[in-house]
Structure 1
């Protein structure tokens, strides 16, 4: 093992996952625990898990990275409006650093952290990688030459609230027709309620394939919006690799096939789109891998060096 380490922490609505990463970017230890709501508890749990995953190597930890949903200022480590964890406002980086005896702490939005982790795990040779997070909401994380693209205000990749969908459903953000209203996990659950705790996308795909007209109609709406999301990312940053992640990615290859069918159908109508070979750029995020925690660790390294 090397003599310098970084801890990465992925804070989710139900669990917190942490990894110990060595100087070569290899995960040496992975631990997780149930998430608890409230800013004080999240701070305490992040600090506890960082010490737990580092174990005897904690004195060699050069930095801790945290990925968390909500509004994140990566320059200050301030986090706001994490609804699932009942966080209104918290100076997460400063408070976790204090709890760890002054170890530098860097905080990223969870989608950005996952983008960096996915780029690291799937393809280190690509100059530009986009991570499309089809989760409760919809957003993209953008990685260029191993670094995250935040934009002037930190809103780079926030494609979920681009109001282009023709169905014009009302969005909590105050607009109508946001992509998030039709192709996020929450949107699909609304458009195709199954009455079960199971995610709706596998059922929707299966029913549509079996010829259910209602399922085919809903799937056409969802696929169109997913195609819009992929096309926006492709034509704005032209990534070599487009990683599909988030909760809906657990559907697996059938989801990727559905998105591929949509972009290929568009290509048949448009030689320009066909020339981009978008379907060939699509990959699923590696299942059951701690990509968010790994990305958080890598983001912290880039800040600390």
Structure 2
């Protein structure tokens, strides 16, 4: 999956869903994660497999267990597996095949029972063809492959994710979300859904944390599309108006709140909320009554078209 799609959260969910992860047994079945691209080769080797006392200068007295031993009877997430150096890929393959680990500087094999979940943002098949990733390790790891979709492929989830992250960000600031927060986010949903979110859920979470700072500083201000555009100008720089049928990106100074027109589902929900009062629904959606009337006519015409 792309960066920010929640690969580690998905791994944790798989770990927790196992039948043995019930009650007090969770402590006996740990979840351990290591980023294979964040450490130098020498450090990564000792982190993965552990080391014996005296294995290298500065080694801890008595040695140290690696993450394979720490994850015994549990789950080990090898994050960014595509960044692992080739020499360590050979050792990793042997551990997976033999289910034994030998610490750096040691000779005694230590049996480990670990479920492996690996994650990557790169195309491992392409790296295999380029000689940057061992084919045998790839096929050993590739028992079950899961592709996490980017946020732009599930735009219907954006509003719910935004509300969840915003409420948590406000709680972290000891700021209570006001009663209309959900409704105000619904007004902003078309703007948020029109953005492609290259950083995916992580970028959305960070934006909600930024927005929470402004809302906590001025608790009485309303959450509007204009506020979001002011707080996050990069959002307006890439967003595409929902009325446009072209692929042109609107510049920030050209985008206004009136350009962000809600879809038919949002309009229907607003009309239900205000019991058919079009003036109240238009104010809630942040559009004029003329725009609301036009969108209703367009929807009516589409529904009359033969399938």
What TM-score results when the alignment is normalised by the length of structure 1? Answer: 0.29
Q: Who wins on radius of gyration, i.e. which is larger?
A: 2
Which structure would you say has the larger RCO, counting Cα contacts within 8 Å and 6 or more residues apart? 1
What TM-score results when the alignment is normalised by the length of structure 2? Answer: 0.29
Q: Which has the higher strand share?
A: 1
